[in-house]
A and B are shown apart, each in its own frame.
Chain A
Amino acid sequence: MNRVGAAIVLIAVVAALFGPAIARFDPSAQELARRLDGPSAAHWFGLDELGRDIFSRVLAGARISLLVGIVVVSISSVVGTLLGSIAGYFGGTVDEAISRVIDILLAFPGLLLAIALVAVLGPSLTNVVFALSLIGWVGYARLVRGQVLRAREFEFVQAARALGAATPRILVKHIIPTALPAVTVQATLGMGGAILAEAALSFLGLGVQPPTPSWGTMLNGGRTHLLDAPHLTIFPGLAIAFLVLGFNFLGDGLRDALDPVTRRSGR
Protein backbone atom coordinates (compact mmCIF):
# COMPACT_ATOMS: atom_id res chain seq x y z
CA MET A 1 0.00 0.00 0.00
CA ASN A 2 2.85 2.25 0.94
CA ARG A 3 4.49 1.82 -2.46
CA VAL A 4 1.29 2.37 -4.40
CA GLY A 5 0.68 5.55 -2.40
CA ALA A 6 4.23 6.78 -2.95
CA ALA A 7 3.96 6.05 -6.70
CA ILE A 8 0.69 8.01 -6.98
CA VAL A 9 2.12 10.98 -5.10
CA LEU A 10 5.27 10.85 -7.24
CA ILE A 11 3.17 10.96 -10.42
CA ALA A 12 1.38 14.05 -9.09
CA VAL A 13 4.67 15.73 -8.17
CA VAL A 14 6.05 15.06 -11.66
CA ALA A 15 2.83 16.44 -13.17
CA ALA A 16 3.11 19.55 -11.01
CA LEU A 17 6.79 20.15 -11.73
CA PHE A 18 6.95 19.22 -15.40
CA GLY A 19 3.31 19.78 -16.40
CA PRO A 20 4.05 22.56 -18.89
CA ALA A 21 6.69 20.36 -20.60
CA ILE A 22 4.41 17.29 -20.74
CA ALA A 23 1.24 19.11 -21.81
CA ARG A 24 0.82 19.63 -25.53
CA PHE A 25 -1.41 22.67 -25.09
CA ASP A 26 -1.41 25.85 -23.05
CA PRO A 27 -3.90 25.26 -20.20
CA SER A 28 -5.54 28.64 -20.83
CA ALA A 29 -5.52 28.59 -24.66
CA GLN A 30 -9.10 28.59 -25.96
CA GLU A 31 -10.44 26.87 -29.05
CA LEU A 32 -14.02 28.12 -28.87
CA ALA A 33 -15.15 26.43 -32.09
CA ARG A 34 -14.44 23.01 -30.55
CA ARG A 35 -15.76 23.68 -27.05
CA LEU A 36 -17.08 20.63 -25.11
CA ASP A 37 -15.51 18.20 -27.62
CA GLY A 38 -15.04 14.76 -26.07
CA PRO A 39 -11.71 12.93 -25.63
CA SER A 40 -9.74 12.42 -28.84
CA ALA A 41 -6.21 11.50 -29.98
CA ALA A 42 -5.14 15.14 -29.83
CA HIS A 43 -7.05 16.07 -26.66
CA TRP A 44 -6.88 12.99 -24.40
CA PHE A 45 -9.37 14.30 -21.83
CA GLY A 46 -11.38 16.43 -24.29
CA LEU A 47 -12.06 20.16 -24.25
CA ASP A 48 -13.93 22.22 -21.66
CA GLU A 49 -16.70 24.84 -21.90
CA LEU A 50 -14.25 27.39 -23.33
CA GLY A 51 -12.45 24.94 -25.60
CA ARG A 52 -9.42 24.53 -23.33
CA ASP A 53 -7.50 21.23 -23.23
CA ILE A 54 -8.62 19.39 -20.08
CA PHE A 55 -5.50 17.18 -19.89
CA SER A 56 -3.25 20.26 -19.74
CA ARG A 57 -5.53 21.83 -17.15
CA VAL A 58 -5.52 18.68 -14.99
CA LEU A 59 -1.70 18.73 -15.06
CA ALA A 60 -1.68 22.42 -14.12
CA GLY A 61 -4.26 21.74 -11.39
CA ALA A 62 -1.86 19.29 -9.71
CA ARG A 63 0.36 22.29 -9.00
CA ILE A 64 -2.41 24.17 -7.13
CA SER A 65 -3.51 21.08 -5.20
CA LEU A 66 -0.02 20.13 -4.06
CA LEU A 67 0.85 23.73 -3.28
CA VAL A 68 -2.23 24.16 -1.07
CA GLY A 69 -1.56 20.80 0.58
CA ILE A 70 2.09 21.56 1.33
CA VAL A 71 1.51 25.11 2.62
CA VAL A 72 -1.53 24.22 4.75
CA VAL A 73 0.10 21.12 6.23
CA SER A 74 3.38 22.96 6.93
CA ILE A 75 1.70 25.86 8.72
CA SER A 76 -0.77 23.64 10.59
CA SER A 77 1.79 21.08 11.71
CA VAL A 78 4.36 23.62 12.90
CA VAL A 79 1.83 25.81 14.75
CA GLY A 80 -0.05 22.77 16.11
CA THR A 81 3.11 21.01 17.29
CA LEU A 82 4.37 24.15 19.02
CA LEU A 83 1.09 25.00 20.76
CA GLY A 84 0.36 21.37 21.60
CA SER A 85 3.75 20.83 23.19
CA ILE A 86 3.52 24.09 25.13
CA ALA A 87 0.06 23.12 26.43
CA GLY A 88 1.15 19.61 27.34
CA TYR A 89 4.48 20.54 28.89
CA PHE A 90 3.44 23.50 31.00
CA GLY A 91 -0.09 22.41 31.92
CA GLY A 92 -2.06 24.78 34.17
CA THR A 93 -3.49 28.01 32.80
CA VAL A 94 -1.58 27.86 29.50
CA ASP A 95 -2.94 24.38 28.83
CA GLU A 96 -6.43 25.47 29.89
CA ALA A 97 -6.37 28.46 27.50
CA ILE A 98 -5.04 26.51 24.49
CA SER A 99 -7.39 23.60 25.15
CA ARG A 100 -10.45 25.91 25.27
CA VAL A 101 -9.52 27.46 21.92
CA ILE A 102 -9.15 23.93 20.51
CA ASP A 103 -12.58 22.96 21.92
CA ILE A 104 -14.23 25.98 20.29
CA LEU A 105 -12.62 25.38 16.91
CA LEU A 106 -13.54 21.70 17.09
CA ALA A 107 -17.17 22.71 17.68
CA PHE A 108 -17.34 23.62 13.99
CA PRO A 109 -17.62 20.50 11.89
CA GLY A 110 -14.96 20.03 9.22
CA LEU A 111 -15.18 22.50 6.40
CA LEU A 112 -17.87 24.72 7.90
CA LEU A 113 -15.53 27.24 9.50
CA ALA A 114 -13.44 27.41 6.32
CA ILE A 115 -16.62 28.10 4.31
CA ALA A 116 -17.59 30.82 6.80
CA LEU A 117 -14.16 32.45 6.77
CA VAL A 118 -13.81 32.44 3.00
CA ALA A 119 -17.36 33.74 2.71
CA VAL A 120 -16.46 36.90 4.64
CA LEU A 121 -12.83 37.31 3.54
CA GLY A 122 -13.63 36.77 -0.12
CA PRO A 123 -12.78 33.85 -2.40
CA SER A 124 -9.06 33.53 -3.21
CA LEU A 125 -6.23 31.01 -2.97
CA THR A 126 -4.60 32.94 -0.10
CA ASN A 127 -7.80 33.03 1.92
CA VAL A 128 -8.35 29.30 1.35
CA VAL A 129 -4.86 28.55 2.66
CA PHE A 130 -5.41 30.90 5.61
CA ALA A 131 -8.80 29.37 6.49
CA LEU A 132 -7.60 25.76 6.19
CA SER A 133 -4.48 26.45 8.28
CA LEU A 134 -6.52 28.21 10.95
CA ILE A 135 -8.55 25.03 11.40
CA GLY A 136 -5.78 22.57 10.58
CA TRP A 137 -3.43 23.24 13.52
CA VAL A 138 -6.05 22.04 16.01
CA GLY A 139 -5.68 18.37 15.11
CA TYR A 140 -1.89 18.48 15.46
CA ALA A 141 -2.07 20.39 18.74
CA ARG A 142 -4.41 17.82 20.27
CA LEU A 143 -2.25 14.95 19.08
CA VAL A 144 1.03 16.49 20.25
CA ARG A 145 -0.42 17.60 23.59
CA GLY A 146 -1.33 13.98 24.37
CA GLN A 147 2.09 12.72 23.32
CA VAL A 148 3.87 15.39 25.38
CA LEU A 149 1.84 14.62 28.50
CA ARG A 150 3.15 11.07 28.20
CA ALA A 151 6.72 12.03 27.28
CA ARG A 152 7.01 14.47 30.18
CA GLU A 153 7.26 11.53 32.56
CA PHE A 154 9.92 9.64 30.59
CA GLU A 155 13.14 9.10 32.52
CA PHE A 156 15.37 10.70 29.92
CA VAL A 157 13.27 13.87 30.06
CA GLN A 158 13.44 13.96 33.84
CA ALA A 159 17.19 13.33 33.62
CA ALA A 160 17.59 16.28 31.25
CA ARG A 161 15.60 18.43 33.64
CA ALA A 162 17.71 17.26 36.60
CA LEU A 163 20.86 18.10 34.64
CA GLY A 164 19.59 21.66 34.38
CA ALA A 165 18.62 21.78 30.68
CA ALA A 166 16.53 24.83 29.76
CA THR A 167 12.83 24.30 28.99
CA PRO A 168 13.02 25.21 25.27
CA ARG A 169 15.92 22.77 24.88
CA ILE A 170 14.02 19.98 26.64
CA LEU A 171 10.99 20.62 24.42
CA VAL A 172 12.86 20.79 21.13
CA LYS A 173 15.57 18.20 21.78
CA HIS A 174 13.76 15.62 23.86
CA ILE A 175 9.98 15.95 23.88
CA ILE A 176 8.91 17.04 20.41
CA PRO A 177 10.94 14.28 18.69
CA THR A 178 8.88 11.63 20.51
CA ALA A 179 5.74 13.07 18.89
CA LEU A 180 7.22 13.31 15.38
CA PRO A 181 6.21 9.85 14.06
CA ALA A 182 2.57 10.54 14.93
CA VAL A 183 2.81 14.04 13.43
CA THR A 184 4.29 12.59 10.22
CA VAL A 185 1.36 10.20 9.82
CA GLN A 186 -1.13 12.98 10.53
CA ALA A 187 0.63 15.30 8.06
CA THR A 188 0.51 12.69 5.29
CA LEU A 189 -3.20 12.10 5.82
CA GLY A 190 -3.58 15.87 6.25
CA MET A 191 -2.21 16.45 2.73
CA GLY A 192 -5.14 14.45 1.36
CA GLY A 193 -7.53 16.34 3.61
CA ALA A 194 -6.24 19.77 2.58
CA ILE A 195 -6.38 18.86 -1.11
CA LEU A 196 -9.98 17.66 -0.71
CA ALA A 197 -10.93 20.78 1.25
CA GLU A 198 -9.43 23.15 -1.33
CA ALA A 199 -11.22 21.29 -4.11
CA ALA A 200 -14.50 21.43 -2.16
CA LEU A 201 -14.20 25.19 -1.58
CA SER A 202 -13.26 25.82 -5.21
CA PHE A 203 -16.16 23.60 -6.31
CA LEU A 204 -18.51 25.79 -4.27
CA GLY A 205 -17.02 28.86 -5.97
CA LEU A 206 -15.33 29.95 -2.73
CA GLY A 207 -11.77 28.96 -3.52
CA VAL A 208 -9.43 29.41 -6.44
CA GLN A 209 -11.07 31.64 -9.02
CA PRO A 210 -11.24 31.01 -12.77
CA PRO A 211 -9.36 31.03 -15.07
CA THR A 212 -6.72 29.48 -12.75
CA PRO A 213 -6.95 25.74 -13.37
CA SER A 214 -7.82 24.12 -10.03
CA TRP A 215 -9.48 20.69 -9.98
CA GLY A 216 -12.35 21.96 -7.84
CA THR A 217 -12.97 24.95 -10.12
CA MET A 218 -12.94 22.63 -13.13
CA LEU A 219 -15.56 20.39 -11.49
CA ASN A 220 -17.65 23.47 -10.78
CA GLY A 221 -17.45 24.45 -14.45
CA GLY A 222 -18.55 20.94 -15.44
CA ARG A 223 -21.74 21.09 -13.35
CA THR A 224 -23.75 22.90 -15.99
CA HIS A 225 -22.60 20.45 -18.67
CA LEU A 226 -23.37 17.20 -16.89
CA LEU A 227 -25.88 16.26 -19.60
CA ASP A 228 -23.95 17.17 -22.74
CA ALA A 229 -20.30 16.87 -21.69
CA PRO A 230 -19.73 14.58 -18.68
CA HIS A 231 -15.98 14.43 -19.44
CA LEU A 232 -15.69 17.90 -17.88
CA THR A 233 -16.64 16.30 -14.57
CA ILE A 234 -15.02 12.88 -14.88
CA PHE A 235 -11.34 13.75 -15.35
CA PRO A 236 -10.73 16.46 -12.71
CA GLY A 237 -12.65 14.35 -10.18
CA LEU A 238 -10.58 11.31 -11.07
CA ALA A 239 -7.43 13.36 -10.47
CA ILE A 240 -8.62 14.47 -7.01
CA ALA A 241 -9.67 10.97 -5.96
CA PHE A 242 -6.42 9.47 -7.29
CA LEU A 243 -4.14 11.91 -5.43
CA VAL A 244 -6.11 11.80 -2.18
CA LEU A 245 -6.12 7.99 -2.36
CA GLY A 246 -2.33 8.15 -2.80
CA PHE A 247 -1.87 10.21 0.36
CA ASN A 248 -4.30 7.98 2.28
CA PHE A 249 -2.42 4.84 1.19
CA LEU A 250 0.85 6.46 2.18
CA GLY A 251 -0.51 7.67 5.55
CA ASP A 252 -2.04 4.29 6.37
CA GLY A 253 1.16 2.51 5.41
CA LEU A 254 3.27 4.89 7.50
CA ARG A 255 0.98 4.46 10.48
CA ASP A 256 1.29 0.68 10.30
CA ALA A 257 5.05 0.91 9.87
CA LEU A 258 5.52 3.32 12.78
CA ASP A 259 3.02 1.77 15.20
CA PRO A 260 4.46 -1.35 16.87
CA VAL A 261 1.00 -2.57 17.97
CA THR A 262 -0.59 -2.68 14.52
CA ARG A 263 2.67 -4.00 13.06
CA ARG A 264 2.61 -6.97 15.38
CA SER A 265 -1.05 -7.82 14.94
CA GLY A 266 -0.91 -7.23 11.20
CA ARG A 267 -3.98 -5.01 11.23
Chain B
Amino acid sequence: MLRFLARRIALTIPVLLGVATLVFSLIHLIPGDPAQAMLGESASPQDVAELRARLGLDRPLLEQYGRFLRGAVSGDLGRSLRTNQPVTSAIIERMPATFELASAAMFVAVAVAIPLGIAAAVWRGTAVDHGATTLSLLGISIPNFWLGPLLAIIFSIELGWLPVSGRGTWAHLILPAVSLGAALAAILARMTRATLLEELREQYVVAARARGASRARAVVRHAFRNSLIPVITLIGLQFGAVLTGAVITETIFAWPGIGRLLIQSIGFRDYPLVQGCILLIAVTYVGMNLITDLLYGLVDPRIRYE
Protein backbone atom coordinates (compact mmCIF):
# COMPACT_ATOMS: atom_id res chain seq x y z
CA MET B 1 0.00 0.00 0.00
CA LEU B 2 2.87 2.36 0.85
CA ARG B 3 4.43 1.88 -2.59
CA PHE B 4 1.07 2.54 -4.22
CA LEU B 5 0.69 5.68 -2.13
CA ALA B 6 4.17 6.94 -3.02
CA ARG B 7 3.69 6.21 -6.72
CA ARG B 8 0.37 8.06 -6.91
CA ILE B 9 1.73 11.07 -5.03
CA ALA B 10 4.83 11.14 -7.24
CA LEU B 11 2.61 11.17 -10.33
CA THR B 12 0.75 14.19 -8.98
CA ILE B 13 3.82 16.41 -8.58
CA PRO B 14 4.48 17.03 -12.31
CA VAL B 15 0.76 17.74 -12.80
CA LEU B 16 0.83 20.33 -10.01
CA LEU B 17 3.93 21.89 -11.53
CA GLY B 18 2.19 22.05 -14.90
CA VAL B 19 -0.88 23.64 -13.32
CA ALA B 20 1.26 26.27 -11.58
CA THR B 21 3.14 26.98 -14.83
CA LEU B 22 -0.11 27.46 -16.73
CA VAL B 23 -1.53 29.76 -14.04
CA PHE B 24 1.75 31.73 -14.01
CA SER B 25 1.66 32.18 -17.78
CA LEU B 26 -1.92 33.52 -17.68
CA ILE B 27 -0.72 37.00 -16.83
CA HIS B 28 1.65 36.94 -19.80
CA LEU B 29 -1.16 36.01 -22.18
CA ILE B 30 -2.78 39.40 -21.62
CA PRO B 31 -2.49 41.22 -24.95
CA GLY B 32 -0.11 44.18 -24.65
CA ASP B 33 1.33 45.35 -21.35
CA PRO B 34 -0.29 43.46 -18.42
CA ALA B 35 0.30 46.37 -16.02
CA GLN B 36 -1.36 48.81 -18.43
CA ALA B 37 -4.28 46.38 -18.88
CA MET B 38 -4.78 46.17 -15.11
CA LEU B 39 -4.75 49.92 -14.56
CA GLY B 40 -6.71 50.86 -17.68
CA GLU B 41 -6.00 53.08 -20.67
CA SER B 42 -5.99 56.34 -18.71
CA ALA B 43 -3.27 55.34 -16.21
CA SER B 44 -0.12 57.46 -16.17
CA PRO B 45 3.15 55.89 -17.39
CA GLN B 46 4.55 56.39 -13.88
CA ASP B 47 1.72 54.37 -12.27
CA VAL B 48 2.13 51.65 -14.87
CA ALA B 49 5.89 51.45 -14.24
CA GLU B 50 5.27 51.33 -10.49
CA LEU B 51 2.79 48.45 -10.81
CA ARG B 52 5.13 46.63 -13.16
CA ALA B 53 7.87 46.84 -10.54
CA ARG B 54 5.48 45.87 -7.73
CA LEU B 55 4.36 42.73 -9.56
CA GLY B 56 7.94 41.96 -10.59
CA LEU B 57 6.97 42.17 -14.27
CA ASP B 58 10.18 44.14 -14.97
CA ARG B 59 12.31 41.16 -13.92
CA PRO B 60 13.53 38.44 -16.33
CA LEU B 61 10.82 35.83 -17.07
CA LEU B 62 12.70 32.98 -15.44
CA GLU B 63 13.12 34.96 -12.23
CA GLN B 64 9.40 35.81 -12.22
CA TYR B 65 8.60 32.12 -12.69
CA GLY B 66 10.88 31.10 -9.84
CA ARG B 67 9.32 33.68 -7.55
CA PHE B 68 5.82 32.57 -8.48
CA LEU B 69 6.60 28.91 -7.76
CA ARG B 70 8.29 29.72 -4.44
CA GLY B 71 5.31 31.90 -3.53
CA ALA B 72 2.80 29.20 -4.52
CA VAL B 73 4.55 26.62 -2.35
CA SER B 74 4.82 28.95 0.64
CA GLY B 75 1.30 30.30 0.25
CA ASP B 76 2.36 33.82 -0.78
CA LEU B 77 0.48 34.69 -3.95
CA GLY B 78 0.96 38.43 -3.78
CA ARG B 79 -1.60 41.10 -2.94
CA SER B 80 -4.93 42.06 -4.42
CA LEU B 81 -4.54 45.11 -6.67
CA ARG B 82 -7.84 46.55 -5.53
CA THR B 83 -7.86 45.98 -1.77
CA ASN B 84 -4.15 45.35 -1.14
CA GLN B 85 -5.22 42.35 0.96
CA PRO B 86 -2.92 39.30 0.63
CA VAL B 87 -4.42 37.00 -2.03
CA THR B 88 -4.10 33.97 0.22
CA SER B 89 -6.08 35.48 3.07
CA ALA B 90 -8.75 36.82 0.69
CA ILE B 91 -9.20 33.27 -0.60
CA ILE B 92 -9.11 31.63 2.84
CA GLU B 93 -11.86 34.00 3.97
CA ARG B 94 -14.12 32.81 1.15
CA MET B 95 -13.28 29.11 1.34
CA PRO B 96 -15.80 28.04 4.01
CA ALA B 97 -18.70 29.45 1.97
CA THR B 98 -17.66 27.56 -1.17
CA PHE B 99 -17.08 24.29 0.65
CA GLU B 100 -20.40 24.64 2.45
CA LEU B 101 -22.18 25.11 -0.88
CA ALA B 102 -20.25 22.32 -2.64
CA SER B 103 -20.89 19.84 0.20
CA ALA B 104 -24.59 20.70 0.31
CA ALA B 105 -24.85 20.30 -3.47
CA MET B 106 -23.15 16.91 -3.31
CA PHE B 107 -25.45 15.84 -0.49
CA VAL B 108 -28.51 16.84 -2.54
CA ALA B 109 -27.11 15.00 -5.56
CA VAL B 110 -26.45 11.75 -3.67
CA ALA B 111 -29.76 11.86 -1.83
CA VAL B 112 -31.67 12.17 -5.11
CA ALA B 113 -29.51 10.10 -7.44
CA ILE B 114 -28.96 6.87 -5.54
CA PRO B 115 -32.67 6.08 -4.93
CA LEU B 116 -33.48 7.17 -8.49
CA GLY B 117 -30.73 4.97 -9.98
CA ILE B 118 -31.80 1.98 -7.87
CA ALA B 119 -35.46 2.42 -8.82
CA ALA B 120 -34.54 2.60 -12.51
CA ALA B 121 -32.46 -0.59 -12.26
CA VAL B 122 -35.04 -2.54 -10.21
CA TRP B 123 -37.89 -1.62 -12.54
CA ARG B 124 -35.79 -1.64 -15.69
CA GLY B 125 -37.73 -1.14 -18.92
CA THR B 126 -40.85 0.09 -17.11
CA ALA B 127 -42.32 3.57 -16.90
CA VAL B 128 -40.26 4.17 -13.73
CA ASP B 129 -37.05 3.50 -15.65
CA HIS B 130 -38.07 5.70 -18.59
CA GLY B 131 -39.11 8.46 -16.21
CA ALA B 132 -35.82 8.30 -14.31
CA THR B 133 -33.78 8.21 -17.51
CA THR B 134 -35.61 11.21 -18.98
CA LEU B 135 -35.28 13.09 -15.70
CA SER B 136 -31.53 12.52 -15.64
CA LEU B 137 -31.11 13.58 -19.26
CA LEU B 138 -33.04 16.73 -18.39
CA GLY B 139 -30.77 17.28 -15.39
CA ILE B 140 -27.70 17.10 -17.62
CA SER B 141 -29.19 19.38 -20.27
CA ILE B 142 -30.61 22.14 -18.07
CA PRO B 143 -27.82 24.63 -17.36
CA ASN B 144 -27.41 25.62 -13.71
CA PHE B 145 -27.36 29.29 -14.74
CA TRP B 146 -30.94 28.79 -15.89
CA LEU B 147 -32.13 26.39 -13.21
CA GLY B 148 -30.93 28.78 -10.49
CA PRO B 149 -32.94 31.81 -11.64
CA LEU B 150 -35.91 29.54 -12.44
CA LEU B 151 -35.94 28.14 -8.90
CA ALA B 152 -35.61 31.68 -7.56
CA ILE B 153 -38.61 32.79 -9.64
CA ILE B 154 -40.75 29.91 -8.34
CA PHE B 155 -39.68 29.52 -4.70
CA SER B 156 -38.59 33.03 -3.80
CA ILE B 157 -40.61 35.41 -5.95
CA GLU B 158 -43.87 33.52 -6.59
CA LEU B 159 -44.17 31.43 -3.42
CA GLY B 160 -42.00 33.54 -1.12
CA TRP B 161 -40.71 30.45 0.70
CA LEU B 162 -36.95 30.97 0.37
CA PRO B 163 -34.58 33.94 0.18
CA VAL B 164 -33.40 34.99 -3.30
CA SER B 165 -29.74 35.49 -2.44
CA GLY B 166 -27.08 35.79 0.22
CA ARG B 167 -25.72 33.45 2.89
CA GLY B 168 -26.59 32.97 6.53
CA THR B 169 -29.34 30.51 7.35
CA TRP B 170 -30.22 27.02 6.10
CA ALA B 171 -32.92 28.56 3.96
CA HIS B 172 -30.28 30.51 2.04
CA LEU B 173 -28.46 27.29 1.20
CA ILE B 174 -31.35 25.33 -0.32
CA LEU B 175 -31.76 26.95 -3.74
CA PRO B 176 -28.03 27.26 -4.55
CA ALA B 177 -27.42 23.66 -3.41
CA VAL B 178 -30.28 22.28 -5.50
CA SER B 179 -29.35 24.21 -8.62
CA LEU B 180 -25.68 23.22 -8.28
CA GLY B 181 -26.42 19.59 -7.39
CA ALA B 182 -28.97 18.86 -10.12
CA ALA B 183 -26.50 18.07 -12.91
CA LEU B 184 -24.40 15.89 -10.61
CA ALA B 185 -27.55 14.07 -9.47
CA ALA B 186 -28.37 13.35 -13.10
CA ILE B 187 -24.90 11.96 -13.87
CA LEU B 188 -24.86 9.91 -10.64
CA ALA B 189 -28.30 8.43 -11.25
CA ARG B 190 -27.27 7.26 -14.71
CA MET B 191 -24.06 5.78 -13.34
CA THR B 192 -25.85 4.03 -10.46
CA ARG B 193 -28.35 2.47 -12.85
CA ALA B 194 -25.67 1.35 -15.32
CA THR B 195 -23.34 -0.21 -12.72
CA LEU B 196 -26.26 -1.90 -10.96
CA LEU B 197 -27.41 -3.47 -14.22
CA GLU B 198 -23.87 -4.66 -14.83
CA GLU B 199 -23.62 -6.18 -11.34
CA LEU B 200 -27.00 -7.89 -11.78
CA ARG B 201 -25.46 -10.02 -14.52
CA GLU B 202 -22.75 -11.31 -12.15
CA GLN B 203 -22.97 -14.90 -10.97
CA TYR B 204 -23.38 -14.13 -7.27
CA VAL B 205 -26.50 -12.13 -8.05
CA VAL B 206 -27.82 -14.83 -10.38
CA ALA B 207 -27.18 -17.34 -7.58
CA ALA B 208 -29.06 -15.19 -5.09
CA ARG B 209 -31.96 -14.93 -7.53
CA ALA B 210 -31.86 -18.72 -8.01
CA ARG B 211 -32.17 -19.15 -4.27
CA GLY B 212 -35.41 -17.22 -4.49
CA ALA B 213 -34.39 -13.62 -3.74
CA SER B 214 -36.62 -11.08 -5.43
CA ARG B 215 -35.14 -8.69 -8.02
CA ALA B 216 -35.47 -5.82 -5.57
CA ARG B 217 -33.65 -7.78 -2.86
CA ALA B 218 -30.94 -8.85 -5.29
CA VAL B 219 -30.38 -5.22 -6.21
CA VAL B 220 -30.46 -3.70 -2.76
CA ARG B 221 -28.79 -6.44 -0.70
CA HIS B 222 -26.27 -7.82 -3.16
CA ALA B 223 -25.55 -5.75 -6.24
CA PHE B 224 -25.78 -2.29 -4.68
CA ARG B 225 -22.84 -2.74 -2.34
CA ASN B 226 -20.46 -3.71 -5.14
CA SER B 227 -21.74 -1.04 -7.48
CA LEU B 228 -20.89 1.57 -4.86
CA ILE B 229 -17.18 1.60 -5.74
CA PRO B 230 -17.52 3.20 -9.20
CA VAL B 231 -20.27 5.47 -7.88
CA ILE B 232 -18.06 6.77 -5.06
CA THR B 233 -15.22 7.27 -7.54
CA LEU B 234 -17.51 9.30 -9.75
CA ILE B 235 -18.57 11.44 -6.79
CA GLY B 236 -14.91 12.21 -6.08
CA LEU B 237 -14.12 12.96 -9.69
CA GLN B 238 -17.17 15.20 -10.06
CA PHE B 239 -16.06 17.42 -7.19
CA GLY B 240 -14.18 19.58 -9.68
CA ALA B 241 -17.29 20.05 -11.81
CA VAL B 242 -19.13 21.12 -8.66
CA LEU B 243 -16.41 23.67 -7.86
CA THR B 244 -16.61 25.15 -11.37
CA GLY B 245 -20.39 25.09 -11.22
CA ALA B 246 -20.09 26.99 -7.95
CA VAL B 247 -18.49 29.88 -9.87
CA ILE B 248 -21.82 30.32 -11.68
CA THR B 249 -24.13 29.44 -8.80
CA GLU B 250 -22.35 31.82 -6.43
CA THR B 251 -22.67 34.59 -9.00
CA ILE B 252 -26.42 33.98 -9.37
CA PHE B 253 -27.22 33.77 -5.66
CA ALA B 254 -24.67 36.36 -4.46
CA TRP B 255 -23.06 33.58 -2.41
CA PRO B 256 -19.82 34.98 -0.93
CA GLY B 257 -17.46 32.18 -2.01
CA ILE B 258 -14.36 31.77 -4.15
CA GLY B 259 -16.32 31.53 -7.40
CA ARG B 260 -17.93 34.91 -6.89
CA LEU B 261 -14.56 36.33 -5.84
CA LEU B 262 -13.07 35.01 -9.09
CA ILE B 263 -15.73 36.61 -11.30
CA GLN B 264 -15.55 39.90 -9.37
CA SER B 265 -11.75 39.91 -9.67
CA ILE B 266 -12.00 39.34 -13.43
CA GLY B 267 -14.34 42.34 -13.61
CA PHE B 268 -11.84 44.51 -11.70
CA ARG B 269 -8.86 43.08 -13.64
CA ASP B 270 -7.38 42.11 -10.32
CA TYR B 271 -5.17 39.46 -11.93
CA PRO B 272 -3.16 38.34 -8.86
CA LEU B 273 -6.48 37.44 -7.23
CA VAL B 274 -7.70 35.76 -10.45
CA GLN B 275 -4.52 33.66 -10.54
CA GLY B 276 -4.93 32.76 -6.87
CA CYS B 277 -8.53 31.62 -7.27
CA ILE B 278 -7.76 29.55 -10.38
CA LEU B 279 -4.73 27.96 -8.73
CA LEU B 280 -6.68 27.11 -5.58
CA ILE B 281 -9.60 25.53 -7.46
CA ALA B 282 -7.28 23.50 -9.72
CA VAL B 283 -5.11 22.31 -6.82
CA THR B 284 -8.19 21.34 -4.80
CA TYR B 285 -9.44 19.40 -7.80
CA VAL B 286 -6.12 17.58 -8.25
CA GLY B 287 -6.07 16.85 -4.50
CA MET B 288 -9.62 15.45 -4.58
CA ASN B 289 -8.74 13.22 -7.53
CA LEU B 290 -5.68 11.97 -5.66
CA ILE B 291 -7.74 11.20 -2.55
CA THR B 292 -10.35 9.41 -4.67
CA ASP B 293 -7.59 7.38 -6.31
CA LEU B 294 -6.06 6.46 -2.96
CA LEU B 295 -9.43 5.49 -1.48
CA TYR B 296 -10.14 3.41 -4.54
CA GLY B 297 -6.86 1.59 -4.01
CA LEU B 298 -7.76 1.06 -0.38
CA VAL B 299 -11.17 -0.44 -1.17
CA ASP B 300 -10.11 -2.52 -4.16
CA PRO B 301 -6.71 -4.22 -3.70
CA ARG B 302 -6.52 -5.09 -7.42
CA ILE B 303 -5.88 -1.41 -8.22
CA ARG B 304 -2.80 -1.31 -5.99
CA TYR B 305 -1.01 -4.01 -7.93
CA GLU B 306 -1.83 -2.70 -11.36
| Interface residues in chain A, defined as those with a beta carbon under 8 Å from any beta carbon in chain B | 100-101, 103-104, 107-113, 115-117, 119-122, 192, 196, 199-200, 203-206, 216, 219, 222-223, 226-227, 230, 233-234, 236-238, 240-241, 244-245, 248-249, 252, 265-267
Contacts and interface: CB of A to CB of B under 8 A. Distances in A.
B274 A200 contact: no
B187 to A, nearest CB: 11
A109 B243 contact: yes
Q: Which 8 A-B pairs have the closest CB atoms?
A: A109-B240, A237-B146, A104-B18, A245-B141, A244-B141, A119-B266, A110-B244, A203-B145
Contacts of B168: none
Contact of B281 (A103, A109, A117, A230): A109
B145 A200 contact: yes
Interface string B10-41: 00001110110011001101110000000000
B281 A104 contact: no
A103 B18 contact: yes
B97 interface: no
A223 B252 contact: yes
A3 to B, nearest CB: 15
Given A104-B19, A110-B241, A121 B141 contact: no
A115 B286 CA distance: 18
Given A108-B285, A116-B278, A219 B149 contact: yes
B205 interface: no
Contacts of B286: 107
Interface residues of B, number: 50
B294 interface: no
Contacts of A222: 149
B247 interface: yes
A205 B240 CA distance: 22
A103 B149 contact: no
A223 B18 CA distance: 37
B205 to A, nearest CB: 14
A238 B143 CA distance: 10
A104 B286 CA distance: 10
A110 B240 contact: yes
Contacts of A227: 157
Nearest to B142: A241
